[in-house]
Amino acid sequence: MSTILEQLYHQLIVSCQAYPNDPMEDLPTLTRVAQAALLGGAKALRLNSADHVRAMRAVTDVPIIAIEKSYAGGVLRITPDFASAAALAAAGASIIALDCTDRVHVAGEPWREIVQRIHDELGLLVMADIAALREGIAASQAGVDLIGTTLNGYTEETLGNDSFSYKLVADLVRETGLPIVAEGHISTPDEAVHALISGAWCVVVGSAITRPGTITQNFISALEKIPSNSSSHRYAIGVDIGGTTIKAALVDDCGETTSHVRIPTQASGGRDAIAKSTLDAIQQALAAAQKQNIAPLAIGVASAGAIDAKNGTVFAATENLPGWAGFDLREFITQHIALPVFVENDAHAAALAELHYGAGRGLGNFAAITLGTGVGGGLVLDGRLQRGQYGFAGTVGHQTIRVDGVPCNCGRRGCLEAYVSTAALVREFLALNPSTNLPDGDDAAKAMQIAKLAIAGDPSAKQAYSALATYLAEGLANIFNIVDPEAVIITGGLIEGQTGFLDEVQSKTQSLLHFGSKRPPKILPAGSSQYAGVQGAAAAAFAGL
Q: Which residues bind Zn ion (CB under 5 A)?
A: 398, 408, 410, 412, 415
C-alpha span between 170 and 158 (Å, rounded): 17
DSSP state at residue 197: H
C-alpha span between 431 and 412 (Å, rounded): 23
Q: Which residues pair with 129 in a beta bridge?
A: 99, 148
CB of 468 to Zn ion, least distance (A): 16
Judged by beta carbon, residue 158 or residue 422, the one nearer Zn ion is: 422
Using DSSP, state whether 381 is helix, strand or coil: strand
**Which helix (H) or strand (E) segment is 248 a member of?**
strand 245-252
CB of 413 to Zn ion, least distance (A): 8
| Strands, sheet with 523-525, edge to edge from the N-terminal-most edge strand | 384-386, 375-381, 366-371, 487-491, 523-525
Q: What is the DSSP string of 205-222?
A: E-HHHH-HHHHHHHHHHH
Name residue 97's amino acid: A
Q: How far is CA 7 from the centre of its chain?
A: 37
Using DSSP, state whether 254 is helix, strand or coil: coil
C-alpha span between 234 and 252 (Å, rounded): 6
Judged by beta carbon, residue 383 or residue 388, the one nearer Zn ion is: 388
CB of 305 to Zn ion, least distance (A): 15
**Which helix (H) or strand (E) segment is 116 a member of?**
helix 111-117
With vertex at residue 373, the alpha carbon angle to CA 371 and CA 375, rounded to the nearest 5 degrees, is 40
Judged by beta carbon, residue 36 or residue 410, the one nearer Zn ion is: 410
Using DSSP, state whether 354 is helix, strand or coil: helix
C-alpha span between 521 and 124 (Å, rounded): 69
CB of 396 to Zn ion, least distance (A): 10
CB of 398 to Zn ion, least distance (A): 4
Name residue 185's amino acid: H
Judged by beta carbon, residue 406 or residue 432, the one nearer Zn ion is: 406
CB of 377 to Zn ion, least distance (A): 12
CB of 179 to Zn ion, least distance (A): 53
Judged by beta carbon, residue 325 or residue 410, the one nearer Zn ion is: 410
CB of 245 to Zn ion, least distance (A): 23
Task: Let me know: does 357 contact 257? Beta carbons within 8 Å.
Answer: no
Residues near 31 by beta carbon (within 8 Å), at least 6 away in sequence: 52, 55, 56, 59
CB of 399 to Zn ion, least distance (A): 8
CB of 19 to Zn ion, least distance (A): 28
Judged by beta carbon, residue 166 or residue 392, the one nearer Zn ion is: 392
Q: Which residues pair with 148 in a beta bridge?
A: 129, 181
Judged by beta carbon, residue 342 or residue 419, the one nearer Zn ion is: 419
Judged by beta carbon, residue 20 or residue 405, the one nearer Zn ion is: 405
Judged by beta carbon, residue 279 or residue 396, the one nearer Zn ion is: 396
Judged by beta carbon, residue 69 or residue 412, the one nearer Zn ion is: 412
Strands 12-16 and 245-252: unpaired
CB of 409 to Zn ion, least distance (A): 6
Task: Let me know: does 309 contact 342? Beta carbons within 8 Å.
Answer: yes
Judged by beta carbon, residue 37 or residue 408, the one nearer Zn ion is: 408
Long-range contacts of 157-166 (CB under 8 A, 24+ apart): 157/131, 157/132, 158/131, 158/132, 159/272, 159/275, 159/276, 159/279, 160/276, 160/279, 160/336, 161/185, 162/276, 162/280, 162/283, 164/191, 164/194, 164/195, 166/194, 166/195, 166/198
Name residue 202's amino acid: C
CB of 397 to Zn ion, least distance (A): 6
With vertex at residue 46, the alpha carbon angle to CA 42 and CA 48, rounded to the nearest 5 degrees, is 145
CB of 420 to Zn ion, least distance (A): 11
Judged by beta carbon, residue 225 or residue 412, the one nearer Zn ion is: 412
Residues near 117 by beta carbon (within 8 Å), at least 6 away in sequence: 82, 85
Judged by beta carbon, residue 255 or residue 305, the one nearer Zn ion is: 305
